[in-house]
Structure 1
Amino acid sequence: MRIEEGFQQTPYTEPNAYTTDSVLPSLLKRLLPADALREVESDLVRFGGEGLAELREMNAKAAEPQLIQYDNWGRRVDELRTSEGWREVKAYLQREGIPGIFYERRYDAHSRVYGFAKHLLSSGSSSVMYCPLGMADGAARVLELSGSPATKRDILPRLISRDPEIAFTAGQWMTERPGGSDVSQTETVARPVPDATSPYGPVYSIDGFKWFSSATDSDVAVALARTGSVASGSRGLSLLLIPLRRPLIRPTNEPRPSALTNNIRIHRLKNKVGTKIVPTAELELAGAEGYLIGEPGAGVKLIAPVLNITRMHSAVTSIGSLRRCIAIATAFSHVRRLPGKEMLNENVVHVAELAKATVVYRALTHMVFGAVLLLGKTECGVATEEEAMRLRLLTPAVKSFAADRASYVMEECMSLLGGQGYMEETEFGTIIKDAWVEKIWEGTAAVLALDMIRATSKPGVLGAFVSWANSTISSCPTELARRLSVPLDTLRKGLNEIHSTYTTRSITLALRPALMLFSHVTSALYLLEHTVWAHANSEPTAETDIEVFRRWVQENGLDQAMQDVQRAKAANASRPKADTQIVYGAGPERESPKAHLAEKVTAHL
Structure 2
Amino acid sequence: MRVEEGFQQCPYDEQHPYISDPLLSTLLQRVLPEQTFALVNEDLIRFGERVTTEIRHIADRATPPVLIQYDQLGRRIDDLQTCESWRLLKAIAQEEGIVAIQYERKSGAYSRVHSFAKQLLMVGDCQTVFCPLSMTDGAARVLELEGTQGMKQEILSKLVSRDAKSAFTAGQWMTERPGGSDVSQTETTATLPPDCKQGDVPGARYILNGFKWFSSATDSHVALALARTGPVSSGSRSLSLFLVPLRLPLSVSNRDNTSNGVFVHRLKNKFGTQIVPTAELSLEGTEAYLVGPLNRGVKTISSVLNITRLYCACDSLGSLRRGFAIARAYAYVRTIDGGKQLLRDNPVHTAELAKVSLIYGALMQLFFGAVLLLGRVECNVASEDEKRRLRLLTPVVKAFCAEKAVAALEECMAALGGLGYMEETGIGRLIRDSLVEKIWEGTITVLSLDLMRAASDPEALPAYTRWTDGILTSVPSGLQESLHAPLEFLKSARSMITNLFTKSDSSVPSLVPRPALMLFAYITTAFDLLEHAIWSDENRPRRIDVEVSAEAFRRWVEEAGLREAMESVKVALAADGHRIRMDEMLVYGEKTRIEKARL
Same fold per TM (> 0.5)? Answer: yes
Q: CA deviation at 1:502?
A: 1.8
Q: 1:73, CA displacement in angstroms? A: 0.8
Letter in 2 for 1:428: I
CA distance in 1, matches of 2:592, 2:59: 56
The C-alpha deviation readout for 1:391-421, integer Å capped at 9, x for no partner, is 0000000000000000100001100000000
> Contact conserved, 2:449 with 2:513, CA < 8 A, in 1?
yes
Is residue 560 from structure 1 mapped to residue 564 from structure 2 by the alignment?
yes
Secondary structure of 1:155's counterpart equals: helix
- How many residue pairs were aligned? 589
Structure 1 position 200, deviation (Å)? 0.9
Displacement of 1:575: 1.3
For structure 1, which runs of at least 5 residues remain unmatched after alignment?
Answer: 594-605
What residue number does 1:548 align with? 552
C-alpha displacement at 1:83, in angstroms? 0.3
Shift of the alpha carbon at 1:20?
1.4
1:572 aligns with 2:576: yes
* Structure 1 stretch displaced more, 52-61 or 137-146: 52-61
Distance (Å, rounded) in 1 between the aligned partners of 2:219 and 2:237: 30
Q: Is 1:150 paired with 2:154?
A: no
Q: CA deviation at 1:507?
A: 2.7
Name the counterpart of 2:311.
313
Instruction: Classify the secondary structure of the residue corresponding to 1:403.
Output: helix
Could you tell me how far 1:539 is from its partner in structure 2?
A: 4.2
Alignment of 1:446-465 (within 5 A): 446-465=445-464
Distance of aligned partners of 1:588 and 1:284 in 2 relative to their CA distance in 1, 3 Å threshold: closer
CA–CA distance in 1 between the matches of 2:360 and 2:69?
44
User: Residues 167-316 of structure 1: matches in 2 within 5 Å?
Assistant: 167-193=167-193, 194-197=195-198, 198-249=200-251, 254-259=253-258, 261-316=259-314
Structure 2 CA distance for aligned equivalents of residues 450 and 171 of structure 1: 25
- Partner Cα distance (2:555, 2:396) in 1: 21
Instruction: Name the residue aligned to 1:413.
Output: 412
The aligned runs of 1:321-336 (5 Å cut-off) are: 321-336=319-334
Give the TM-score of the pair, scaled to structure 2: 0.97
CA contact (8 A) 1:407 1:432 kept: yes
Q: What amino acid sits opposite 1:63 in the alignment? A: T
- Could you tell me which amino acid in structure 2 is paired with residue 325 of structure 1? G
* Equivalent residue in structure 1 for 2:527, among 525, 528, 535: 525
* CA deviations over 1:111-147 (Å, ceiling 9, x no partner): 0000000111111100001100000000000000000
Q: CA deviation at 1:459?
A: 2.0
1:583 aligns with 2:584: no
Q: Is the 8 A contact 2:225 2:242 kept in 1?
A: yes
Q: In structure 2, how many angstroms separate the alpha carbons of the residues matched to 1:195 and 1:495?
A: 57
Q: How does 1:106-185 map to 2 (within 5 A)?
A: 106-185=106-185
Separation in 2, partners of 1:553, 1:547: 10
Check the 8 A contact 2:494/2:523 in 1, yes or no: yes
CA contact (8 A) 2:212 2:282 kept: yes
Partner in structure 1 of residue 84 of structure 2: 84
CA deviation vs aligned residue, 1:475-529 (integer Å, no higher than 9, x gap)? 1112211110111111111111111112223231111100000000001100000
Aligned residue identity for 1:166? S
Q: Give the letter for the 1:482 counterpart.
A: E
Check whether the contact 2:51–2:125 (CA below 8 A) recurs between aligned residues: no
**CA positional deviation for 1:354:** 0.9
SS in 1 for 2:171: strand
Q: Is the 8 A contact 1:188 1:209 kept in 2?
A: yes
SS across alignment from 1:574: helix
Go from structure 1 to structure 2 and tell me whether the alpha carbon gap of 1:225 and 1:539 turns closer, same or farther (over 3 Å shift). farther
| Aligned residue in 2 for 1:36 | 36
The SS at the match of 1:124 is helix
Contact 1:222 1:241 in 2 (8 A): yes
Deviation at 1:592, TM superposition (A): 7.6
Q: CA deviation at 1:53?
A: 2.5
Conservation of the 8 A alpha-carbon contact between 1:99 and 1:160: yes
> Shift of the alpha carbon at 1:538?
3.2
Alignment-derived partner of residue 368 in structure 2: 369
Q: Structure 1: how far apart are the matches of 2:592 and 2:44? A: 63
SS in 1 for 2:593: coil
* Superposition deviation, residue 210 in structure 1: 0.3
CA-to-aligned-CA distance 1:164-194 (integer Å, 9 cap, x gap): 1011111011000001101110000000113
* Corresponding position: 1:494 with 2:496: no
For the pair 1:534 / 2:540, whether they are aligned, the reply is no
- For residues 439 and 574 of structure 1, the distance between their equivalents in structure 2, rounded to whole angstroms, comes to 29
Distance, in Å, in 2 between the alignment partners of 1:389 and 1:256 is 41
CA distance in 1: counterparts of 2:196 and 2:135, whole angstroms:
32
AA partner of residue 163 (structure 1): D
Q: Distance in 2 between matches of 1:468 and 1:3?
A: 61
SS in 2 for 1:508: coil
Q: Distance in 2 between matches of 1:102 and 1:286?
A: 35
Measured against aligned partners, the alpha-carbon deviations of 1:177-232 in whole angstroms (never above 9, x if no partner) come to 00110111000000011333143111100000000000110110001000011011
Change in 2 beyond 3 A, CA 1:592/1:163: same
| Structure 2 Cα separation of the partners of residues 375 and 218 of structure 1 | 25
1:483 and 1:460 mapped to 2: Cα distance?
A: 34
The change in CA–CA distance for 1:52 and 1:102 in structure 2 (over 3 A counts) is farther
Structure 2: 5+ residue stretches without partners: none
Distance (whole Å) between structure 2 residues aligned to residue 116 and residue 54 of structure 1: 20
Residue 64 in structure 1 maps to residue 85 in structure 2: no
Q: Deviations over 1:20-78 (max 9, x none)?
A: 11221111111111111111101101111233321011111211000000001111100
Which residue of 2 is the match for residue 599 of structure 1? Answer: none
* Contact 2:81/2:256 (<8 A) preserved: no
CA contact (8 A) 2:219 2:255 kept: no
Change (3 A) 1:410 1:588: closer
Which residue is 1:514 aligned to?
A: 516
Structure-2 change in CA distance of 1:532 and 1:353 (3 Å): same
Q: Residue type matched to 1:466 in 2?
A: T
Name the SS for the 2:125 alignment partner: coil
Instruction: Check conservation: 2:221, 2:255, Cα contact below 8 A.
Output: no
In the alignment, the residues of structure 2 paired with residue 179 and residue 386 of structure 1 have an alpha-carbon distance, to the nearest angstrom, of 34
Quick one: distance in 1 between partners of 2:222 and 2:390? 28
8 Å contact kept, 1:133–1:169: yes
Question: Aligned equivalents of 1:588 and 1:208: distance in 2?
Answer: 34
- Alignment partner of 1:450: what SS? helix
Q: 1:345 to 1:189 in 2, by over 3 A?
A: same
Deviation at residue 587 of structure 1 after TM alignment:
5.8
| Residues 191 and 205 in structure 1, CA contact (< 8 A), matched pair in contact too | yes
Q: CA RMSD in A?
A: 1.3
SS at match of 1:128: coil
Letter in 2 for 1:302: T
Distance 2:343 2:565 in 1: 33
Question: 1:602: which partner in 2?
Answer: none
Q: CA deviation digits over 1:146-170, x for unaligned, max 9?
A: 0000110111011011111011111
Residue in structure 2 matched with residue 596 of structure 1 by the alignment: none
Match of 1:424 in 2: 423
Residue identity over aligned pairs, in percent, reads 53
Question: Quick check: 1:98–1:160 contact (8 Å CA) kept in 2?
Answer: no
